Chain A
Amino acid sequence: MKPTKREELTEAKEEKRLEKFTFPDFGTIEAENLEEATKIYISKK
């Protein structure tokens, strides 16, 4: 059965969206949250 509009919205909500964080003198990293972004930053810097 085709999902209703509400079901489609709920499914979309469940997708994890990445946020952008800007590290001074480095650049922008996309991650789920600040903690994850910091881990990526430390591994890259």
Chain B
Amino acid sequence: MAKEIGRLHSFGLGIEATSGTETTSDVYIPLTAGKLIPQVTKVTQENGLGVIDQVSDSYVTQKMSEFPASGNVKHTSIGWLLLLAFGTSGSATLVETGVYSHAFSRKNDNNHPSATVFHLNATQQEKSVYHMLQNVDFTFEVGEKAMFSLSTIGRKIQNTSALTTAFPTEEDFLVNCMEVKLADTVAGLTGATPISIQRATLSIQKNLLQVFGTSTGSGCEYEFATQHNQAFAVSGDFELKMDGKTYQEIFEDGDYKVMQIKLVGKTLIGATEFPELTFTIPKISFESFDTSDTLDEIVTQTIGFVGMYDAVNGITTSASLQNAKSTQYA
């Protein structure tokens, strides 16, 4: 490949109908950083050979790839990442002319959707199948755009051709337009007063496992046979100025709360509706509480939380995305 800057690199995702079977790209995702990197495991030959030299051979035993990436949360492309995170996306539901809602819910099995990841630059094109989401972390900081960072794991990288980059037309979510609510029940969110925070994070961990096995054909097998998401975990934290003991007492008392994080876009996509991304966590527990102690600055409080499985609503978290996409994420 020619020497070139990172801006010439593009990354696409295509949701696979059958995990591990290549598909075409559904979307190219604008990123602030991203790379498709080989993950090769090797074992070395370190037996004593009558010399003081340590290593005499190296053998490849596993071939995979990793796709770490980060970018701004945008109102159309983020849906593909939410599908990989949650496992299920419902049909697009009409909100008003030209505006649709997409519901993402946690698929209750260990075979969540996978994607073929595509990487192209000015001179070279690559692909890797069977990528599943290891984790996605959202960062919301006032004064900034909402950000995500993620990592996916898939099979080895292969060369490909005939890829064409095209990005959806979409806008960023500003954290200044974000609304955070805490309530005692999901129904109570509607009437709850939003709280003004300065920063929040939300993480979804999927604890991937790759199953490697002995050869089932001719030759050696270096790639995983199957890959599975395991325990689904949600956590995060939020920071705000310290002006009372409300959150400290919730932490001390061990009360559960319902949390909703709602991002709202700035440009109308219908007659009255804006893009929206809403995370609802019906049962959070404050697992940590800390305050800053810098002498010359207003004291802040940081509350760490863990999303719990809520048997009443049957979820740990769900997401709803409102945009102009009229077809299902699939």
A38 contacts which of B92, B164, B168, B324 (Cβ < 8 Å)? B164
B169, A9: Cβ atoms under 8 Å?
A: no
B326, A23: Cβ atoms under 8 Å?
A: no
Tell whether A1 is near chain B: CB-to-CB under 8 Å.
no
B25 contacts which of A17, A22, A34, A41 (Cβ < 8 Å)? A34
B24 contacts which of A22, A35, A37 (Cβ < 8 Å)? A35
B168 contacts which of A10, A17, A19, A32 (Cβ < 8 Å)? A19
**Chain B 4-34 interface mask (CB, 8 Å, partner A; 1/0):** 0000001000000000000011111000000
The size of the chain B interface, using a CB distance under 8 A, is 23
Interface of B is mostly: loop
Tell whether B248 is near chain A: CB-to-CB under 8 Å.
no
B94, A42: Cβ atoms under 8 Å?
A: no
Tell whether B327 is near chain A: CB-to-CB under 8 Å.
yes
Q: Given A9-B94, A34-B25, A34-B27, decide whether A17 and B166 contact each other with a Cβ distance below 8 A.
A: no
A19 contacts which of B25, B28, B165, B325 (Cβ < 8 Å)? B325
A33 contacts which of B28, B164, B324, B327 (Cβ < 8 Å)? B327
The size of the chain A interface, using a CB distance under 8 A, is 23
Interface of A is mostly: mixed
A34, B324: Cβ atoms under 8 Å?
A: no
Interchain nearest-CB distance for A9 vs B (Å): 5
- Complexed CA–CA distance, A20 and B27 (Å): 12
- B-side residues, CB < 8 A to A, are 10, 24-28, 76, 92-94, 97-98, 100, 164-169, 324-327
Pull 17 A–B residue pairs with CB atoms less than 8 Å apart, ordered by A: A12-B97, A13-B93, A16-B326, A17-B98, A17-B326, A19-B168, A19-B325, A22-B168, A22-B169, A24-B10, A24-B166, A28-B169, A29-B166, A33-B26, A34-B24, A34-B26, A34-B28
